[in-house]
Structure 1
């Protein structure tokens, strides 16, 4: 019988991808519209998500920075999406952040405590 080697892609790589998506959205917004506030906020949240993904890569139980960052992003951008009805960029980031919260929360809560 073959031993389960875990997920095909480690969760922290998905976290790094999410962090890159958030940060690149701020850079794109700045280039297109010159929004310094959007750039600063997205780089801050992208950096925090990256930090959380790095912490997760070092200790799979250390998800709290990533989880709180993704949850906050889901709430803020979800509210913006609800008010504006525009999928880009608020709806995309809200959806991606909500998926991250669900994936990381389920993965962590579903594992037995050691």
Structure 2
């Protein structure tokens, strides 16, 4: 198992937990739905990578990239580090790990 699988799985769990927290704190169904879908896609991409499917990594990079952009827009609007800033930082680290694997460095 390589680091990109672990990164995709961990960021997926974080997205799901964040979506649940957004729903609990603000009754945001959008947070629950988007966190659940993106988290599930990241967990599935980690599973597919583990099964040797090369497109699993591509899917993980795409989903993580979209999440980073969404959270960057939210951070620009709210200027609050939590949760948007934290998700940007962790998403960027996740993308760096995945890019390292994708480019074969």
TM over 0.5: yes
Q: Distance in 1 between matches of 2:15 and 2:9?
A: 10
Q: Which has the higher contact order (CA 8 A, sep 6+)?
A: 2
Higher helix fraction (1 or 2): 2
CA apart distance, 1:83: 2.0
1:109 aligns with 103
Deviations 1:78-105 (A, max 9, x none): 1111221111111111221121111101
Q: Distance in 1 between matches of 2:96 and 2:26?
A: 32
Q: TM-score, normalised by structure 2?
A: 0.88
1:51 aligns with 44
CA apart distance, 1:48: 1.1
Q: Distance in 1 between matches of 2:79 and 2:53?
A: 36
Find runs of 4+ consecutive structure 1 residues off by over 2 angstroms: none
1:28 correspondence with 2:24: no
**The 10-residue stretch of structure 1 (52-61 or 67-76) with the greater mean CA deviation from structure 2:** 52-61
Q: How does 1:21-100 map to 2 (within 5 A)?
A: 21-59=14-52, 61-62=54-55, 63-100=57-94
Q: Work out the number of aligned pairs and report it.
A: 104
Which of 1 and 2 has greater Rg? Answer: 1
Asked if the contact 1:49–1:66 (Cα under 8 Å) also holds between the matched residues in 2, the reply is: yes
Asked if the contact 2:6–2:46 (Cα under 8 Å) also holds between the matched residues in 1, the reply is: yes
Asked if the contact 2:7–2:97 (Cα under 8 Å) also holds between the matched residues in 1, the reply is: no
Gaps spanning 5+ residues in structure 1: where? 1-6
